[in-house]
């Protein structure tokens, strides 16, 4: 009898702990706010600068009512709960020799930054590290969890066609296109890559060169999203 009561007490404690945890788990609210224009100079932003651009369209990434990041450009849904968007960075461009620089006065400029992966369910924001991605030449074209773009190797002197997959350790595709002159080069380096679904194919068009395409065979998503205790209905 004593053992039975002890077992029931342990079960009650376990159930109580589970219910408390479930009651304490709050859903996260993730949203992109309204677009606004900020002063912008291509001289202050080597990252994919647009010719004759004088303002940058940015919008806040808001998680649970708080601004976590500033973003620019269109977002792309990876799954029904996660998406990617490019970060907009507000950077202090003040030199120590600038007027007031020694007092720590800031001179703020905007730049286009790296890509972010956002999980709507957990509210987690992750900066993506795309292989050979260079903000001065890389214009990402998304399809599923694949990012296609022209990139530069570590020396900055060779232009590559790259297809990266979120959460994969190595690029799905990395092919040299041609030599790259970091001082005298065409802009843009490539037009945005073009995707085809069946068969799965990606086409690159380097500026001033012949287009090149590649078939991607036998690929599946590798993005693993954190589980949720409530296990939401996937049909909703």
Model confidence at 107, pLDDT cuts 50, 70, 90, reads confident
Model confidence at 182, pLDDT cuts 50, 70, 90, reads confident
State residue 53's pLDDT score: 83
Q: In Å, how far are 23, 106, 184, 191 from 127, measured between CA atoms?
A: 31, 25, 30, 24
The two three-digit tokens of residue 136, written as one number: 């001065």
The lowest-confidence range among 9-13, 27-31, 39-43 is 9-13
The reported pTM is: 0.80
pLDDT tens-digit profile of 136-171?
A: 899 999 999 999 999 999 999 999 999 999 988 899
Instruction: Report whether pLDDT(23) > 70.
Output: no
Q: What is the mean pLDDT of the chain?
A: 84
For residue 12, report the phi and psi dihedrals to the nearest 5 degrees. Answer: -65, -40
């Amino acid at each position: 009898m004593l053992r039975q009561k002890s077992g029931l007490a342990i079960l009650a404690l376990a159930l109580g702990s589970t219910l408390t945890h479930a009651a304490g788990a709050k859903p996260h609210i993730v949203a992109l706010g309204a677009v606004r224009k900020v002063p912008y100079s291509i001289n202050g932003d080597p990252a994919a600068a647009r010719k004759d651009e004088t303002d940058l369209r940015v919008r806040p990434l808001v998680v649970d009512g708080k601004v976590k990041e500033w973003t620019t450009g269109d977002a792309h849904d990876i799954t029904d709960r996660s998406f990617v968007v490019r970060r907009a960075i507000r950077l202090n461009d003040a030199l120590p020799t600038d007027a007031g620089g020694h007092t720590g006065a800031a001179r703020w400029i905007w730049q286009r930054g790296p890509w972010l992966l956002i999980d709507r369910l957990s509210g987690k924001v992750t900066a993506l590290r795309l292989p050979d991605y260079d903000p001065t030449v890389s214009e990402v074209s998304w399809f599923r969890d694949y990012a296609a773009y022209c990139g530069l190797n570590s020396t900055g002197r060779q232009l590559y066609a790259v297809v990266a997959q979120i959460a994969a350790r190595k690029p799905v595709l990395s092919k040299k296109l041609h030599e790259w002159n970091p001082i005298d080069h065409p802009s843009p380096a490539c037009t945005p890559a073009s995707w085809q679904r069946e068969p799965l194919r990606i086409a690159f068009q380097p500026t001033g060169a012949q287009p090149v395409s590649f078939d991607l065979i036998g690929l599946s998503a590798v993005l693993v999203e954190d589980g949720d205790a409530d296990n939401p209905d996937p049909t909703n």
